[in-house]
Structure 1
């Protein structure tokens, strides 16, 4: 499969120590087992993506890592600390930030106030410095600081959601469906930002995406989730070339 010349595949990297280790995780909604013994790893400095169809359990895994809902069985370890049963705000204080599916920004608050909310875990100590940083990453955010977040376009709201997560100075950034519902040009911009913060800042990223083509081009490694179970794993390049992945997730969508 050819790759457009304007976006290059990321290079393969060697693991530099585990940041996140998920082992045997089972999550339930009532009597329904949504995750069925999930195992995966995210290593220092990587972009790791989890792809799968709607309803596969991708967002459930992301939310389980962040403590809501909590895993009924299995373990989640972040930098050597067991976080499986920790509360979400305690997990955030360890250096994990999440940009959730559907953005979930505070629509009645200004963009500036949304970004302030991202600094709760570090008490706003670095607010001015970090505000300048996220505004340099997302110039459109700078233009909209005094605007109510609910009046922004979908792409602008996604930028605010990612910027808010970055305001906490995370060591691990969880991104849940950042391309959902966005125009192709905005999707390209969002993925370029993810690549840049990984390459320039060394940010470790765990990315949940339904847009498998873009996600696998971006990721160093990936996993495929089907009905709550990991069925395949490999480098982004390997999964892009895998006939089963191409048939299920890429045919007709590689653009």
Structure 2
């Protein structure tokens, strides 16, 4: 049993619209300090919209988002990031014309420069492939290496909360396993809090302490990762009838 922990992120009744189309329908969730929490759901369920709403773009039309006790609902994105939130977005979105080193420098731009060498060593140990490619342009990396760079760039900001949006998307199974193992290490060894949205339900729920299921902008189920893996509805909808 995990001890009760302080809530780091709280999403309360959040509704987000694109024009007149509602994308999030009264979403409630919490992420406690030191947890890995995942949200699974089909493509188009609203997972990435939730991630972007937490980061301030788009703004929710209704509801409230609290981070570390502060109301961040109406804050601009750059101020939210300064509070200790970093995101590795869907599709990676590295700077392809910049080198790996320059991408990492961009990730470190909001923190004290004196940390840079220590943080560079840390991400190089987490992702040895990046160490070998520091002076290579990001756009020439493989998909898996670009995902590693996106996560490493986020870590250079020394976040208290790491938001990961579809880190396994389009990657080979071996690379997916490596990425998820690195997330586990960061949580277990450094106590990093992680909020992960994923279509790969099996890997995400095995990794997570707790999970939520989103369908059409609504949260329809929640529980521990192990509980959700056992739910017939989850197995049928997201685990191909229980095969993985």
Q: Corresponding residue for 1:16?
A: 5
SS of residue paired to 1:155: helix
How many residues in Structure 1 have an aligned counterpart in Structure 2? 244
How much does 1:121 deviate? 1.0
**In structure 2, how many angstroms separate the alpha carbons of the residues matched to 1:204 and 1:229?**
23
SS of residue paired to 1:150: helix
- Match status 1:189 vs 2:178: yes
Gapped regions of structure 2 (runs ≥ 5): none
How much does 1:179 deviate? 0.2
**In structure 2, how many angstroms separate the alpha carbons of the residues matched to 1:235 and 1:20?**
17
SS of residue paired to 1:120: coil
Q: 2:157 aligns with which of 156, 168, 179?
A: 168
Q: Corresponding residue for 1:247?
A: 236
The answer as to whether partners of 2:86 and 2:163 remain within 8 angstroms in 1 is yes
Q: 1:127 aligns with which of 116, 137, 150?
A: 116
The answer as to whether partners of 1:100 and 1:175 remain within 8 angstroms in 2 is yes
How much does 1:120 deviate? 1.2
SS of residue paired to 2:114: coil
**In structure 2, how many angstroms separate the alpha carbons of the residues matched to 1:114 and 1:178?**
18
How much does 1:254 deviate? 4.1
The answer as to whether partners of 2:235 and 2:242 remain within 8 angstroms in 1 is no
The answer as to whether partners of 1:105 and 1:157 remain within 8 angstroms in 2 is yes
How much does 1:123 deviate? 4.3
Superposed CA deviations along residues 67-121 of structure 1, whole A, max 9, x for unmatched, are 0111111000001000011111101110000000000000000000000000111
Q: Corresponding residue for 2:214?
A: 225
The answer as to whether partners of 1:213 and 1:253 remain within 8 angstroms in 2 is no
The answer as to whether partners of 1:105 and 1:149 remain within 8 angstroms in 2 is yes
**In structure 1, how many angstroms separate the alpha carbons of the residues matched to 2:181 and 2:241?**
22
The answer as to whether partners of 2:45 and 2:217 remain within 8 angstroms in 1 is yes
**In structure 1, how many angstroms separate the alpha carbons of the residues matched to 2:83 and 2:40?**
26
Q: Corresponding residue for 1:216?
A: 205
Q: 1:39 aligns with which of 28, 35, 43?
A: 28
The answer as to whether partners of 1:27 and 1:71 remain within 8 angstroms in 2 is yes
Pairing of 1:43-54 with structure 2 (within 5 A): 43-54=32-43
The CA RMSD over aligned residues, in Å, is 1.0
Q: 2:66 aligns with which of 77, 88, 93?
A: 77
Provide TM-score, normalisation by structure 1. 0.94
Gapped regions of structure 1 (runs ≥ 5): 1-11
**In structure 2, how many angstroms separate the alpha carbons of the residues matched to 1:252 and 1:150?**
37
After superposition, the Cα gap between the structure-2 partners of 1:227 and 1:21, relative to the gap in structure 1 and judged at 3 Å, is same
Q: Corresponding residue for 1:115?
A: 104
How much does 1:13 deviate? 2.0
